[in-house]
């Protein structure tokens, strides 16, 4: 089998696949009785990568394998093809994701200590359902709190092969700077071009919007999940303190009003007796 044919087979497989392909999967395209010569698949990948030099797409290796994706320089124009509203995540969700990415493995209690507020269960659930984070173990302390880490899907989404490709935290002003790569087979369905997966994608987007609506405010029930997640200050404490002061002021005002009304009544009775 000549190299030109092997290159065409690899290219076709990458374009037809709806996910990145590993070297093992690419080698598996060839039958055992006629395997690809050693190094030929790697050579095909290099040829395809070089062929993209003057094109709008590029062949990259991410955590899950090799894939074609839209180049960053044309991303802004290509993304205009899709009219669906992109799911947006709350600041709390993005900050939680950043802490897990840069400080993994990390417990929920440790995230709360850094952020200074409780982490909502919906925030963790949203990231787990997106398959960006997972439980990688448990801290060997009382309560055995879960340790969270990122997944290959997280790396794939942001176009990364390894965690050490993340930009230094000191240079990252906002987690939003980690722009996702536009993976051609994983992009939203263009308007006017329906596909069998359209309904499923719409349902997923709606579910994501419902989850993000619950992420803004931490839940008081989350405080005592693990032993290291207690004594976290909350907005409820401040609210109760302010409310107590307001109630005390109101009671003091009512007491003054009662005293004034009583004095007026006594004065009126004295005037009537004199008459």
Whether 156 has a pLDDT exceeding 80, the answer reads yes
Distance CA 252, CA 259 (A): 11
pLDDT band for position 204 (cuts 50, 70, 90): very low
Distance CA 75, CA 91 (A): 24
Cα-to-chain-centroid distance, residue 47: 35
Domain match, 216 and 105 both: yes
Average pLDDT over residues 12-27: 93
Domain match, 131 and 193 both: yes
Distance CA 223, CA 196 (A): 43
Higher pLDDT, 127 or 170: 127
Give, in order, the Cα–Cα distances in Å from 33 to each of 1, 29, 54, 136.
12, 12, 37, 41
| Residue 27 lies inside a defined structural domain of this protein | yes
Average pLDDT over residues 192-209: 38
| Residue 194 lies inside a defined structural domain of this protein | yes
* Per-residue pLDDT reduced to its tens digit, 109-132: 999 999 999 999 999 999 999 999
Q: Given this model, what pLDDT does residue 256 score?
A: 52
| Residue 46 lies inside a defined structural domain of this protein | yes
Distance CA 158, CA 92 (A): 19
| Residue 47 lies inside a defined structural domain of this protein | yes
* Per-residue pLDDT reduced to its tens digit, 4-14: 999 999 999 99
Domain match, 96 and 165 both: yes
The CATH number linked to 20 is 1.10.10.10
| Residue 212 lies inside a defined structural domain of this protein | yes
| Beta strand ranges found along the chain (DSSP E) | 57-62, 65-70, 106-107, 133-138, 146-150
pLDDT band for position 220 (cuts 50, 70, 90): very low
> Domain tally for the chain?
2
Average pLDDT over residues 89-108: 90
| Residue 241 lies inside a defined structural domain of this protein | no
Whether 163 has a pLDDT exceeding 50, the answer reads yes
Cα-to-chain-centroid distance, residue 153: 11
DSSP classification of residue 183: B
Which of 41, 63, 81 delimits the end of a domain? 81
Domain limits at 210? 91-229
Higher pLDDT, 86 or 256: 86
pTM of the model: 0.53
Burial of 26 per CB tally in 10 Å (0-12, 13-18, 19+) = buried
Higher pLDDT, 47 or 170: 47
Q: What are phi and psi of 147, to 5 degrees?
A: -100, 130
| Residue 134 lies inside a defined structural domain of this protein | yes
Of the candidates 186, 180, 181, the one whose C-alpha atom is nearest the C-alpha of residue 204 is: 186
């Amino acid at each position: 089998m000549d190299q030109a044919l092997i290159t065409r087979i690899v290219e076709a497989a990458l374009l037809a696949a709806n996910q990145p392909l590993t070297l093992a999967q690419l080698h598996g395209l060839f039958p055992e009785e006629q395997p690809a010569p050693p190094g030929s698949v790697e050579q095909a990948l290099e040829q395809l990568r070089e062929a993209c030099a003057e094109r709008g797409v590029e062949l990259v290796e991410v955590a899950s394998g090799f894939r074609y994706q839209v180049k960053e320089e044309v991303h802004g124009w290509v993304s205009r093809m899709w009219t669906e509203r992109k799911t947006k995540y709350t600041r709390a969700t993005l900050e939680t994701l950043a802490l897990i990415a840069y400080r993994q493995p990390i417990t929920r209690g440790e995230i709360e200590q850094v952020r200074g507020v409780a982490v909502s269960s919906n925030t963790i659930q949203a990231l787990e359902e997106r398959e960006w984070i997972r439980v990688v173990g448990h801290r060997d302390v009382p309560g055995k709190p879960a340790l969270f880490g990122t997944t290959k899907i997280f790396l794939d989404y942001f176009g990364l092969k390894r965690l050490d490709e993340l930009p230094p935290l000191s240079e990252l002003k906002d987690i939003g700077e980690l722009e996702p790569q536009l993976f051609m087979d994983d992009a939203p369905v263009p308007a006017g071009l329906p596909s069998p997966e359209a309904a499923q994608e719409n349902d997923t987007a709606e579910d994501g919007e419902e989850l993000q609506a619950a992420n803004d405010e931490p839940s008081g029930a989350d405080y005592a999940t693990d032993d290291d997640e207690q004594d976290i200050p909350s907005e409820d404490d401040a609210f109760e303190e302010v409310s107590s002061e307001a109630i005390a002021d109101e009671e003091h005002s009512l007491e003054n009003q009662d005293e004034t009304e009583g004095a007026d009544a006594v004065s009126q009775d004295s005037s009537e007796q004199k008459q």
